[in-house]
C-alpha cells in the first residue's frame, strides 16, 4: 500500500506563532513526531502539507520552514496560507507563492469567517489570481457554509477546489453516532456537480472528538463516494489535529493516523473502490504531483 497524505499539518511553536493551539496540541509536531506516527503497512509514503494557521504575518515563513524540512517529513507539496481578499496585496502574495516550487495550492481558512466571505468581489479576484498562477484552493468550511463553496466553484469554474474534511459534518461519537444530515447531503451533492471540485476523506476523527469507529463514519464516506465518484476522493490524515481524543482528558495518540488510513483503505475495498486511487493517485493528480 502506498499513501499520499493529502492533508498533513506540521508546527513548531518555537519557530512560529499559533494563537489557536491549546491542550494536547500546544506543542511541537514536526519531523520527529511525524516519524513516530508512521502509517503501518506502507511501501511508500508522502504528504501534502496544509497551512497550520500560524499568524498571518508568518504565512510565508511557514512555507519556507516546511520546504526546508521536506526531506525529513516526506512533504512533496505545500498548500500555503494566504488571504484572498486583500486586493493588490493578494495578487503580490500569490505571485510570490507561485514562484516557490513546493507550493501547489493555497488555503484561506474560511471556517471562522462570516458566511459569504468567499463570494465577495475581493475574494473572487483572489481566486482568479490562483487560476492565473496554476494553483489550487483548499476549502475549509463548516457544514452550513458548504453552499458558499458551491457558489465559489460556479463563479470561478477554472479553479480546482478540494473540500477539506467533507465540510465538517456532525458525526456524533462511536457510542452515540449521528446519521448524515439531509442538509449536508444536499449541499455536498450540489458541490459535486462542479467537475473541478474534489473532496478530502479527512477530519472526521476530529469531528468525533477522537471517539470514532469505522462503522460510525462509513455512511459519510458512502455519501462522498456517491456524490463525487471514486476519482475525486482524496485521503488525508489531518494529523495531528485528528490524533487527539479522550472523553475525560483529551490526549494525543500517535497510532491514530495509521488507524484512519487503514479504516479508509478497508472501506474502499469493501465498496469495490480502487484504494490506491483514494490513498495516492487522486491526490497526486489534483495537486499536480503525478
Give percent of the chain with pLDDT exceeding 90: 98
Per-chain mean pLDDT for the chain: 97
How far apart are alpha carbons 72 and 38 in whole angstroms?
13
Residue 290 confidence (pLDDT): 73
pLDDT surpassing 70 at residue 248: no
**Rounded Cα–Cα distance for residues 4 and 15 (Å):** 26
Report the distance separating Cα 218 and Cα 212, nearest Å: 11
Distance (Å, rounded) from C-alpha 119 to C-alpha 84?
A: 11
**Residue 245 pLDDT exceeds 90:** no
Domain hosting 201: range is 2-286
The pLDDT of 50-60, averaged and rounded, is: 98
pLDDT of residue 250: 86
Q: What confidence tens digit (pLDDT) does each residue in 149-160 have?
A: 999 999 999 999
In this predicted structure, the answer to whether residue 68 has a pLDDT above a threshold of 90 is: yes
- Judged against a pLDDT cut of 90, whether residue 235 lies above it is answered with yes
**The pLDDT of residue 249:** 66
Q: How far is CA 57 from the centre of its chain?
A: 22
Average pLDDT of the segment spanning 109-123: 98
Closest CA to 78 of 53, 102, 45, 47: 102
Instruction: Please state, in angstroms and rounded to a whole number, the distance separating the CA atoms of residues 48 and 62.
Output: 14
Q: Is the pLDDT of residue 277 over 70?
A: yes
DSSP 237: -
- Mean pLDDT across 207-225: 97
Structural domain count, the chain: 1
| CATH number of the domain that residue 158 is part of | 3.20.20.140
pLDDT at 58 over 70: yes
Of 275, 236, 233, the C-alpha closest to 4 is 236
- Is 90 exceeded by the pLDDT of residue 166? yes
Nearest to 9 by CA among 135, 113, 109, 115: 109
Amino acid at each position: 500500500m502506498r499513501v499520499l497524505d493529502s492533508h498533513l499539518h506540521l508546527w513548531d511553536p518555537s519557530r512560529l506563532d499559533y494563537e489557536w493551539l491549546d491542550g494536547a496540541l500546544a506543542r511541537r509536531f514536526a519531523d520527529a513526531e511525524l516519524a513516530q506516527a508512521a502509517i503501518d503497512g506502507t511501501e511508500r509514503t508522502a504528504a501534502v502539507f496544509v497551512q497550520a494557521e500560524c499568524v498571518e504575518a508568518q504565512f510565508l515563513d511557514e512555507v519556507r520552514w516546511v520546504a526546508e524540512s521536506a526531506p525529513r517529513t516526506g512533504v512533496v507539496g505545500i498548500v500555503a496560507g494566504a488571504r484572498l481578499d486583500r486586493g493588490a496585496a493578494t495578487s503580490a502574495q500569490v505571485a510570490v507563492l507561485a514562484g516557490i516550487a513546493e507550493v501547489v495550492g493555497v488555503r484561506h481558512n474560511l471556517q471562522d469567517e462570516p458566511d459569504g466571505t468567499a463570494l465577495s468581489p475581493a475574494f473572487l479576484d483572489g481566486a482568479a489570481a490562483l487560476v492565473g498562477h496554476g494553483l489550487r484552493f483548499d476549502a475549509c468550511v463548516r457544514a452550513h457554509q458548504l453552499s458558499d463553496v458551491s457558489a465559489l466553484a460556479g463563479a470561478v469554474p477554472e479553479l480546482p477546489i478540494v473540500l477539506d474534511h467533507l465540510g465538517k459534518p456532525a458525526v456524533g461519537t462511536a457510542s452515540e453516532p449521528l446519521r448524515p444530515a439531509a442538509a449536508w447531503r444536499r449541499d455536498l451533492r450540489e458541490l459535486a456537480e462542479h467537475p473541478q471540485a474534489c473532496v478530502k476523506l479527512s477530519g472526521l476523527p476530529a469531528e468525533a472528538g477522537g471517539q470514532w469507529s469505522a462503522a460510525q463514519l462509513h455512511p459519510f464516506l458512502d455519501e462522498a463516494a456517491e456524490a463525487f465518484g471514486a476519482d475525486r476522493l482524496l485521503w488525508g490524515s489531518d494529523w495531528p489535529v485528528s490524533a487527539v481524543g479522550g472523553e475525560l482528558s483529551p490526549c494525543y495518540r500517535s497510532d491514530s493516523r495509521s488507524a484512519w488510513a487503514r479504516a479508509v483503505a478497508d472501506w474502499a475495498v469493501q465498496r469495490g473502490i480502487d484504494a490506491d486511487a483514494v490513498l495516492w493517485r487522486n491526490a497526486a493528480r489534483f495537486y499536480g504531483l503525478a
